[in-house]
Chains A and B, each alone.
Chain A
Amino acid sequence: MAATMANATRATVLKLYREILRESKKFTGYNYREYALRRTKVAFRENKSLTDEAKIKALIQEAEENLQIIKRQVVLSQLYKDPSLVIEGENAGQR
C-alpha cells in the first residue's frame, strides 16, 4: 500500500516537474526563462529525498500553483514580447 502510494506520488511529481520546465521554456524574456528553469530544477532537487507526507503534499500544491502562474505569465510574455538580449542568438526570445 505504502509502496504504491509512493509510486503514485513519484509519478505526479515527475509529471509536474516536466510540465513546469516545458512551460518555462516558453517565456520570451531571457532572464525570466532562465530563472524559471534554474529555480525549478534547484527546488525539485532540494526536496528529492523528502519523506514527510504532509510536506510533500504541500510542496506539490505549491508547484501546481506555480505552474498556473507560469502558464499565465508565459501568455503575457508572448503578447508583449521581450526584445532579445545581446548575449542571445539571432532568434532567441522569438520562439
Chain B
Amino acid sequence: MLPGICRSTVGAVRSVVGVSRRHFLQQSSSLGTVAPKLEDAVTNEDTFAGRALYMDAQSTTPLDPRVLDAMMPYSLAYFGNPHSRTHSYGWESEEAVEKARAQVARLIGADSREIIFTSGATESNNISVKGVGRFYKSRKKHILTTQTEHKCVLDSCRALEGEGFEVTYLPVQSNGIVDLKVFEEAIRPDTVLASVMMVNNEIGVKQPIPEMGKICRAHKVFLHTDAAQAVGKIPVDVNEMNIDLMSISGHKIYAPKGIGALYVRRRPRVRIEALQSGGGQERGMRSGTLPTPLIVGLGEACNISQKEMEYDHKRISALANRLISKVTGQISDVIQNGDPDQRYPGCVNLSFAYIEGESLLMALKSVALSSGSACTSASLEPSYVLRAIGAAEDLAHSSIRFGIGRFTTEEEIDYTAQQCISKVTALREMSPLWEMVQEGIDIKEIQWSQH
C-alpha cells in the first residue's frame, strides 16, 4: 500500500513544482491540476507594484555612489593609457592606478608591489592555481583544495589534473569547515599549493585560514585563498594569516564588475607562469592594458570598506539576526546551514524542510533571492556545497540564501521575513510531505519507488 501512496505523492510534488515554474515564466492563469485556491495563495495575490527587493549580496553588490563618483573623471577627461610613459595623459592615469593599488594593499596589509589587477576573482583564482602549479611542475605535482570551493578553483584543478597533476579535494565537516588535522595530514612532500576559500559564497562559513597559513608555512606549501566574499567585510591581513596568494573581487564590495585583484607574496617569493601572453604588464603576470576607471573604482571601494568595516559589520549582523529570529520565530523546521559562529553574518543560508527551494524562490517574486551560487542558479540540481556538508537530499533542495549588504534596510528585512513566512506556510499547506509529517509519518523511513 505504502509504495503506491508514495508514487502518487512524488507525482504531486513534481506537478506542484512544474506548475509554479510554468506560472512564473508565463504569468498565465490556467493551472489545471492543482486546486486553484492554494495556488492563489502562493502566487496570484502579489500582483505587486514596484521592483523586487535586492537580497542577493553574495552574487553581486550595487555600485556605491562614492565609488562611481571617484571613477567618473577617468571615464571622461582622464582617459590616458596608464602604460604610456611619454606624455601627461599616461602619467595621470598611472598615478591614479598606483593610488588604487596602494588602497587595495592597505586594506589587506600588503605592499603595493604585491597587488596585481585582474578582471575579477575568477581570473585571480585561475592565475593562482594554474600559474603556480605550472611554474613548479618539474618538482611538485600535488595540489590541495576543498570540496566546497568556487567552481573556478575546482575547474582550474580539473584542468591541472589533465596535465598530470594530482589533486586532493578535502571534505568538510557538517558545519562546512575543514578539519585542520585532515588538512595537515593531506599535505605531501610534493604538495605545491593549497587553495582554500576564506568565506564560502553559499553558506558563509569562515575557514580557519590563519591556522592553515601556519601549517602551510611549516610544510613549505604555498597557501592561496579565494577571499572574494571576505575582503572588505571581515579583517584580513596577509602577513598575520601567512597567505601567499589571495583573490579579490570588485563587484562583491560595491565596486564595478570586471575588476579584481590578486595578491602575490614577494617574500618568500611566489613565482607564477603567466596564463596570458602580451606586453608584460603587472610584473609579467597579467598582460593587457589596465582599465583605469575600474581600478580607481576598486581602490575607492577598498578605501571605503576599510573605513566602514566596523559600522557595516555591526549593522549587517543586526539585520541578519533580525531576519533569522523573525523567520524561525514563525516557521518550524527551519535549518541554518553552516557553522553558527564561524561565519560572515551577511550570508544567511536557510533550509525550509518539506518544501522545494526553487518553488519558494518563485513564490517570493517580490524579493530577489537565490538558492546558492549565481553560476549554478539555472539548474535544479542541489548545490554541491550543501551536499558536501552532508545535508540530506531534501534539505539541500530546500535551501535559500539571503544576502544582506551595506544598502539593505530594516524595512526590507521585515518585508522579506513576512513574505517568507506567508509563502512557506502556503507551500507547506499544499505539500503532501508536510501533510504526512503532520500525521506522524517519518519521511526518512519511506521506500521511495524508483523511476
Contact = CB atoms under 8 A, between A and B. Distances in A.
Chain B CB within 10 A, most for which of A42, A84, A86, A88 = A86
B66 to A, nearest CB: 6
Contacts of B421: none
Given A42-B311, A83-B51, A85-B51, A35 B407 contact: yes
B406 interface: yes
Contacts of A42: 311
A32 B69 CA distance: 14
Interface string A79-93: 000011111101000
B51 A35 contact: no
A85 B50 contact: yes
B54 A86 contact: no
A76 B68 contact: yes
Nearest to A46: B311
A66 B66 CA distance: 8
Contact of A32 (B65, B311, B412): B65
B90 interface: no
Most interface-central of B53, B66, B409 (chain A CB within 10 A):
B409
Contact of B69 (A69, A84, A88): A69
Interface in A37-88: 38-39, 42, 66, 69-70, 72-73, 76-77, 83-88
Residues of B in contact with A, size category:
20 to 34
B65 A87 contact: no
A34 B412 CA distance: 11
A86 B51 contact: yes
A27 to B, nearest CB: 8
Contacts of A87: 50, 53, 411-412, 415
A31 interface: yes
Interface string B366-395: 100000000000000000000000000000
Nearest to B419: A86
Contact of B50 (A31, A34, A77, A88): A88
Contacts of A88: 50
B54 A83 contact: no
Contacts of A77: 65
Contacts of A38: 409
14 contacts: A27-B65, A31-B62, A32-B407, A35-B407, A39-B311, A76-B65, A83-B50, A83-B51, A85-B50, A86-B49, A86-B50, A86-B52, A86-B415, A87-B412
Interface of B: 48-54, 62, 65-66, 68-69, 72, 311, 366, 406-409, 411-412, 415
Interface of A: 27, 30-32, 34-35, 38-39, 42, 66, 69-70, 72-73, 76-77, 83-88, 90
